[in-house]
Amino acid sequence: MRIARGGSAAAGLALCLGALFACGGGSGGGSGGAPSGTPGTAAPSGSGSRGATAGGTSVLKGKVIVLDPGHNGGNAGHPEEIGRQVFVGNGSKACNTTGTATAEGYAEHAFTWDVAGRLARLLRDRGASVTLTRRDDTGVGPCVDERAAIANRLRADAALSIHGDGAAPSGHGFHVIEPLPVGGNAGIVAPSARLGTAIRDAYRDGTGVPPATYVGLDGLDRRDDLGGLNLSRVPAVFIECGNMRNTGDAAQMSSAPFRQRMAEALARGFEHYLG
C-alpha cells in the first residue's frame, strides 16, 4: 500500500500500474497457509500457545481480534466499483485500491491474504475469536469504511490491517501506522498507540526486519488519512510488513517460511498487547 497522504480521490484510486504500484496478478510466493472459504473456518496450526498465563491459560483466550488483509484479488477488474467515493472520517477517498506487487509479480493482495490466514490460525489456536474482513482472495473490496465497521460491530479487542508497501525501491523495512485523532476515533488513539508499539516490537524482534528507512520514526508512523483508522472505534493499527518494491524485502515477503515467521511475530504482538 502506498497512497499519498491527503491525496486526491484520483490518487486514492491508485491502480498500481506504474513502478510504485505494479499490480502483477501472480502469487509467485505461493499461497502457503492462506485460508479458504468463509472466515473463521481455518484449522488450527498445532503450533501451541506461547502466551500462557501462570495458570496455563492463553492470554488470548476469549479475545476478539479482527484481521484486515489489505486489498483483494478482484479489485483490478472492477475499477468503477473500487473507485467510488466513501466517507473516511475527514473527507472522501476511493472505496479500495488494487495494491502493489513485487517486481516478480507477487501481488500485495495475495501476500496479505496469506499472512492473515497464517496469523488467524495461530491466534485461534491460542483461544482468540478471529474474523477476517474478506472471505477470499478473488473478490472485490470491501470498501475501507466497511472494513472498519466489521471490527466496530464485533467490538473487537484489537484490529490489525496487514499490508505490503509500494515505496521507491531504494527504501526498505517495515512500519506500523497508528491513528491520529479524527473526530469519533479520539477514544482509541491512546490504546492504538500501545497496540502499535506491541506489534512493532514483536515484529522487529521476531523477524529481524528493520524499521523502514523512508518513513516514520523507529518503525512507527501516525496518519489521519486512512479510513480504516479514522473510522475505527476499537484499538486498530496498520502494518506495512516491508517494501514490496525493494529487492531484499520482496525476497522475504515472497518466501512462505518467512511469511510464517511474520505471522508468529505478529501473534506475539497481540499477546503482548492483550496479556
**Which positions are catalytic?**
240
* Dihedral Cα 47, 200, 67, 161, nearest 10 deg: -150
Contact predicate 232/156, CB 8 Å: no
The answer, yes or no, to whether the previous bond of 142 is cis (omega within 30 of 0) is yes
Residue type, 94: A
Grid cell 496479505 is found at 112
Return the percent helix, strand and coil in the chain, to nearest 5.
Answer: 35, 15, 45
Residues near 18 by beta carbon (within 8 Å), at least 6 away in sequence:
none
Terminal Cα distance for the chain, rounded: 30
Residue type, 131: T
Residues near 2 by beta carbon (within 8 Å), at least 6 away in sequence:
14, 20, 21, 100, 165, 166, 167
Grid cell 488494487 is found at 98
Quote the CA–CA distance of 245 and 77 in Å, as a whole number.
Answer: 22
Grid cell 499477546 is found at 271
Quote the CA–CA distance of 121 and 100 in Å, as a whole number.
Answer: 25
Angle between helices 189-207 and 256-274 (to 10 degrees): 140
